[in-house]
Chains A and B, each alone.
Chain A
Amino acid sequence: AQSVTQLGSHVSVSEGALVLLRCNYSSSVPPYLFWYVQYPNQGLQLLLKYTSAATLVKGINGFEAEFKKSETSFHLTKPSAHMSDAAEYFCAVSGGSNYKLTFGKGTLLTVNP
């Protein structure tokens, strides 16, 4: 069984400020972890993924995430927010001989000028 908890359904930051979106996972097997982003009126697209290589994963648009097994966390960060980062962000987990990808409930990021 696997699950994802995203802490904070809505995060608001100022342009230029640090973005931190939190994700904790539960998995009975070594997990694969993902962050997806959804812009308004669009489907989801992959930001980055962790598949048991380096624990610090760099993605598109300046985002990165760190896998911390001891904390069962995979938080998403970006040093400096841009207006174009405003979107909904989803953390997801899969693992083992399991095609299923389980998503969190999402975090809506608002960037204020």
Chain B
Amino acid sequence: DVKVTQSSRYLVKRTGEKVFLECVQDMDHENMFWYRQDPGLGLRLIYFSYDVKMKEKGDIPEGYSVSREKKERFSLILESASTNQTSMYLCASSLGGFGEEKLFFGSGTQLSVL
């Protein structure tokens, strides 16, 4: 089975801190994604990557950046955390293709910014 591992289940940070959320997948998937999940808003795409060192903005990229130096690892970076970035962050990966492939999700990181 594909495993998508997010480094932390819960994270508490202070306003203004630089925050790194790490995600690793073990199935050689081409595509990786970062979503945030908020009650009543569903999942919203922050960034995605379809190849190493390739990235594209999703629907809500402001305040975030990403890094994909190796195929298996996709990092989400909050340059200067703010309270409105308190959320559940979900990483996902897919084999490849153009959106027809299923996504495999990690268990999520609940980030609280105080």
Contacts and interface: CB of A to CB of B under 8 A. Distances in A.
Interface residues of B, number: 26
B100 A32 contact: yes
A103 interface: yes
B105 A43 contact: yes
A46 to B, nearest CB: 4
Contacts, number: 64
Interface centre among B33, B43, B59 (most CB of A within 10 A): B43
A102 to B, nearest CB: 7
A36 B103 CA distance: 9
Interface size grouping (class) on chain A: 20 to 34
Contact of A94 (B44, B92, B100): B100
Nearest to B49: A99
Nearest to B44: A103
B89 to A, nearest CB: 11
A42 B106 CA distance: 8
Interface centre among B35, B90, B105 (most CB of A within 10 A): B105
B31 to A, nearest CB: 6
20 contacts: A9-B40, A32-B100, A34-B102, A41-B107, A43-B4, A43-B105, A43-B107, A43-B108, A45-B105, A51-B100, A96-B99, A98-B98, A98-B99, A99-B98, A100-B45, A100-B99, A101-B33, A101-B99, A103-B43, A103-B44
